[in-house]
Amino acid sequence: MSETLVNGKKSTTELEKVVIRFAGDSGDGMQLTGSQFSFTSALWGNDLATFPDFPAEIRAPQGTVEGVSGFQVQIGKIDIYTPGDQADVLVAMNPAALKSNLQFARKGGNIIVDLDAFVDRNIEKAGFVTNPLEDDTLADYNVVEAPISSLTKTALEGLQLDNKSIMRSKNMFALGMMYWLFDRSLKETEKYIESKFKKTPALAEGNKRALNAGFHYAETIEALPSMYKIPPAIIEKGVYRHISGNTATAWGLMAAAERIGKKLFLGSYPITPASDILHELSRHKNLGVITMQAEDEIAAVCSAIGASYAGQLGVTTSSGPGIALKGEAIGLAVMAEIPLVVVDVQRGGPSTGLPTKTEQADINIAVFGRNSESPAVVLAASTPANCFEFAYMAAKIAMEHMTPVILLTDGYLANGSEPWKFPKTADMPPINLEEAKKSDGVYYPYERDAEKLARGWAVPGTPGFEHRIGGLEKQEKTGNVSYDPTNHEKMVRTRAEKVERVANYIPDIEVQGNGDGKLLVVGWGGTFGGLRTAVTELQHANKKVDFVHFNYINPLPKNTKAIFEKYNKIVVCELNMGQFASLLRSKFPDMNILSYSKIQGQPFLVTELKEVFIEHLKD
Amino acid sequence: MEALADVPKAYTKKDFESDQLVRWCPGCGDYSILSAMTNALPQLGIPRENFVFVSGIGCAARFPYYMNTYGFHTIHGRGPAVATGVKLANPKLSVWEIQGDGDALAIGGNHFIHALRRNIDINILLFNNEIYGLTKGQYSPTSPTGLVTKSTPYGSVERPFHAAELVIGAQGTFYARTIDTNPKLMTEIFVHAAKHVGTSLVEVLQNCVIFNDDAHAGVTAKQNRDDFQLHVKHGQPLLFGKDNKKGIRLNGLKLEVVTLGENGITEKDILVHDAHNEDPALHLMLARMAPPHFPMALGVIREVRAKTYDEAIAEEREKITENAKYHSVDDLLKSGETWEIK
Ligand SMILES: Cc1ncc(C[n+]2csc(CCOP(=O)(O)OP(=O)(O)O)c2C)c(N)n1
Ligand code: SF4
Ligand SMILES: [Mg+2]
């Protein structure tokens, strides 16, 4: 139907990209609305990135700012790496949603509100003194006051539905309006509605009617300036799906375990924003997954260590406060030299901090946060989809090198999602285990392979390989307890060297740019999208700025130094006080390594980054 | 790795002794526990490679180093969690977890109760010397009130935990108590614990000669054996004392010590031990008995069958697998909504 309406009575403006933000009460179904819009846009061929913004409180009172749930999506005909800085279109279903989301709306952009929700009681609850539709709060925006609630009610008249169900369909009315505005088909969402409400035809009918009513309403009113057209992006051919960072992490771990024919054992204790990995893995116990919700984070990591000791892939997932609790046990895995994957979905800290907000401040705890000399491999995913790849690599490295590996993701990656051209598991790199061997008929638990320095993984149940390991210092080769001073030094250095040698098995970093830039922008982990977009836009404007992004934090890729040496100014951008910058400075003390940091629980904005880089290019 | 077992069919005690020098203090009760264990394992008919000894930290926790089996000496108090992971990773293994009283009931108290609550099929041995041995003599959660130690120079003001109460509070399915001075009883109980399906908790009253010598002498000393040890056996009357003349009777809601032949007491009045009773009330009363007014109960006090954690997990997996939509990670990747860009 919408296809025939491409040239409606209004003019059509073509855009490269657009940011849309849906905001409403937690019960208004904004997440669903946002994901439907995203899915339809993906099918249409746009590239996109999404980010949900949940309230921290589960059931904050209706109509309050605390109870507002938002969903932002950026769609484009160009490559999209972030959900966007500011919304070109903000849909606010009530005054509270307007109040808390106005900060995310671009001046000059469109704001669509449900006029019916702007009654005194709601206005007051949201903390406005006067009605924002009547004062000059919205003077800088094009405001569309749509009586969404009452029109939804009218549209659904005659259906056997109670008032609550009718009101719950108003998100579909808003979605219908957006579909008209962006020239999208209603087909996929109608299909979705039909399948979701298969058992309640009245609800299916109601939601479809609301969706269509919104579409026609938008077409009819004069308030919307024009229809926007965002042509399909040039996207690599293939089969795509949407994926969030947490799901990708779970599946990447599963893919690694399946590849090597081991069970995946997850010991975990719930914590935002990591719990969804536990939830996702708990659904797949038929695929060789065992999950245990442990009594605390210490038990979680210890049970994973026990599972690895017994020959399966032991994994534990958490966020900052939980990682702090796991430190001693991770040290045990360092000493016992057994595989362990620790996923840290970073959030704002210290202490309980900002549970639902993103931050990148756990690099120090990941690299250094254990007693004594306790090296571990540290990886960081940089997009929701590549959490799959790095979770897989974390498991591969842990098993091949017999070491704990810490995978850093963050709240932004974990909950963000993007279209993903997913691989076949057979295309993932193979995993080659160091077999436990005997020399002269004797098994020495700490005999190492010459290249990786990994010891063999002898698993209980294997006759002839009975042995004891533990947290006490080991004599080299035999693994017996040893307090010998020179042996200790040798073992400390060997464990460090073993982790360093992982660098021989990871890819070099690649520079984006032609290598003649004045300025090298350095990022790591979840800030990739914003940094990449900012640098690309500057490069298109012929600014001499290059970019590298790190996924391997410890050890660093081998070519890091060679790349850094080409630049006289390096700016490390991160959502903390400069932890990665400090790490790099300690490795490359002679280089001019500067730091740009932000600690607001929010990702970088492309605009702010561009300003920073332009400033750096001046001198 | 080798495909064939290079182990004899019938094991002897020697097969389970490791080549490591045992480093407990001379006279420490741990020696006899170790010996009872190496006596018990050959009786179980389990291949040696399937035994795993896990421990935390403490004198007791050195135990795995001295066993010629798989062994993992982990971190303080976390042994039950590690052992849980080992068992879930490979349910065929016979998993033993060795703890001191500080390890189990102070730093590791949480893991201790949760292992019991889950009823995972592992065996936990609690070496209770009522003191921190390895750190040289501080009071522990089982030290009696008033005990003078390095950290309680004026005597402990805290009230002690009784392991049995925690076991029952955590819905434990197996609780046995033994003493380090009775090798035969220890061996018997270890074998019994191994055969119990579910978490077996064996408390060994162990003597630390250095920091808390004779802590259990009120029960273990030769002259106290008759009057202060009650060896309980399922289905047998609770008799003790020289010539088994004394017994335990349930009087109202209380236990009392009675003497056969006195005040018309006959064997019919004596309580018969029912270790298999699901209701733990009597088990708790028996476990709480202590000198000077009562003998201490030794032997298997509680042994009930309940579904284990590992069984429940296996059942769940089977059920899920029957109706599974996805059979591989590739299936999962393709699941849900996908679209093709051509
Ligand atoms: C995290 C941590 N805290 C403290 C210690 C020190 N520590 C080692 S053993 C122990 C207590 C041991 O007492 P218990 O568990 O009763 O064992 P025992 O030595 O008496 O057999 C303590 C406090 C430690 N190793 N690790
Ligand atoms: S300190 Fe006590 S418990 Fe530890 S080995 Fe010596 S006697 Fe045994
Ligand atoms: Mg002790």
CA atoms within 13 A on the CB side of A527: 31
Mean pLDDT of A430-458: 95
Distance CA A516, CA A501 (A): 30
Beta bridge partners of B299: B177, B232
Same domain, B252 and B180: no
Chain B residue with minimal CA distance to A263?
A: B89
Distance CA A451, CA A434 (A): 11
SS (H, E, C) A451-469: CCCCECCCCCCCCCCCCEE
Report if residue B147 sits inside a domain.
Answer: yes
User: What are the pLDDT digits (tens) for B96-124?
Assistant: 999 999 999 999 999 999 999 999 999 99
CA distances from B121 to B54, B168, B174, B306 (A): 14, 16, 11, 11
Residue A228 amino acid letter: Y
Report if residue B336 sits inside a domain.
Answer: no
Where does the pLDDT of residue A224 fall: very low under 50, low under 70, confident under 90, or very high at 90 and above? Answer: confident
Distance CA A22, CA A33 (A): 8
Structure confidence at residue A2 (pLDDT): 30
Same domain, B208 and B87: yes
Report if residue B78 sits inside a domain.
Answer: yes
Beta bridge partners of A216: none
Q: Which of A548, A556, A554 is nearest to A531 (CA)?
A: A548
What's the CATH number where B295 sits?
3.40.50.970
Structure confidence at residue A356 (pLDDT): 87
Where does the pLDDT of residue B9 fall: very low under 50, low under 70, confident under 90, or very high at 90 and above? Answer: low
User: What are the pLDDT digits (tens) for B119-157?
Assistant: 999 999 999 999 999 999 999 999 999 999 999 999 999
> What token pair was written down for A400?
């091949």
Ion ligand 3: protein residues whose beta carbon lies under 5 Å: B 100-101, 129
Ligand 2 centroid vs A452 CA: distance in angstroms? 40
Percentage of chain A exceeding pLDDT 70 = 98
Structure confidence at residue A7 (pLDDT): 39
Same domain, B144 and B249: no
What count of CB pairs under 8 Å joins A to B? Answer: 221
A480 in B contact zone (CB under 8 Å): yes
Residues of A in contact with B64 (CB under 8 A): 468, 470
Long-range CB contacts for residues A5-9, cutoff 8 Å, separation at least 24: A5/A180, A5/A183, A5/A219, A6/A183, A8/A180, A8/A219, A8/A227, A9/A219
Ligand 2 centroid vs B210 CA: distance in angstroms? 6
Report if residue B339 sits inside a domain.
Answer: no
Which one is predicted more confidently, A3 or A175?
Answer: A175
User: Is the CB of residue A305 less than 8 Å from the CB of residue A336?
Assistant: yes
Distance of CA B16 to the CA centre of its chain: 20
Report if residue B227 sits inside a domain.
Answer: yes
Q: Which of residues 229-268 of A touch B (CB under 8 A)?
A: 235-242, 251, 254-255, 258, 263, 265, 267
Same domain, B35 and B73: yes
Structure confidence at residue A297 (pLDDT): 98
Q: Which residue has the tokens 């031990």?
A: B273
* End-to-end CA, chain A: 56
B3 CB burial (10 A radius; 0-12, 13-18, 19+): exposed
pTM recorded for the entire structure: 0.94
Q: Which residue has the tokens 């399946």?
A: A258
Inter-chain residue contact B49 with A336, CB threshold 8 Å: no
Q: Give how many domains chain B has, as a whole number.
A: 2
Protein residue with least CA distance to atom 8, ligand 2: B28
Q: Which of A265, A424, A462 sits opposite B89 (nearest CB)?
A: A265
Same domain, B56 and B82: yes
> What token pair was written down for A195?
């399948």
Report if residue B342 sits inside a domain.
Answer: no
Same domain, B158 and B262: no
Same domain, B179 and B149: yes
Write b or e for each residue in A603-612: b if 16 or more Cβ atoms lie within 10 A of its Cβ, otherwise e.
bbbbeebbeb
Q: For chain A, what is the mean pLDDT?
A: 94
Range of the domain at B218: 2-236+273-314
Return the beta strands (E) in A67-223 as ranges.
68-76, 87-92, 105-114, 142-146
Mean pLDDT of B65-84: 98
Whether pLDDT at A600 is above 50:
yes
Inter-chain residue contact A241 with B336, CB threshold 8 Å: yes
Where does the pLDDT of residue A517 fall: very low under 50, low under 70, confident under 90, or very high at 90 and above? Answer: confident
Report if residue B322 sits inside a domain.
Answer: no
Q: Which of B69, B85, B114 sits opposite A314 (nearest CB)?
A: B85
**Ligand (nearest to CA of B32):** 2
* End-to-end CA, chain B: 49
Same domain, B247 and B139: no
A314 in B contact zone (CB under 8 Å): yes
Where does the pLDDT of residue B188 fall: very low under 50, low under 70, confident under 90, or very high at 90 and above? Answer: very high
User: What are the pLDDT digits (tens) for B272-284?
Assistant: 999 999 999 999 9
Structure confidence at residue A10 (pLDDT): 58
Report if residue B321 sits inside a domain.
Answer: no
Residue B28 amino acid letter: C
Same domain, B136 and B247: no
Residues of B in contact with A385 (CB under 8 A): none
User: What are the pLDDT digits (tens) for A4-53?
Assistant: 333 344 578 899 999 999 999 988 999 999 999 999 999 999 999 999 88
Structure confidence at residue A26 (pLDDT): 87
Mean pLDDT of A239-261: 97
Same domain, B255 and B178: no
Spell out the domains of chain A, with CATH numbers in brackets.
Answer: 3-229 (3.40.920.10), 241-427 (3.40.50.970), 519-618 (3.40.50.920)
Whether pLDDT at B6 is above 70:
no
Same domain, B153 and B263: no
Chain B residue with minimal CA distance to A304?
A: B85
Inter-chain residue contact B321 with A286, CB threshold 8 Å: yes
Element (H, E) at A209: helix A201-220
CB-defined site of ligand 2, < 6 Å? B 24-25, 28, 30, 59, 129, 133, 208-211
Same domain, B251 and B184: no
Mean pLDDT of A415-442: 94
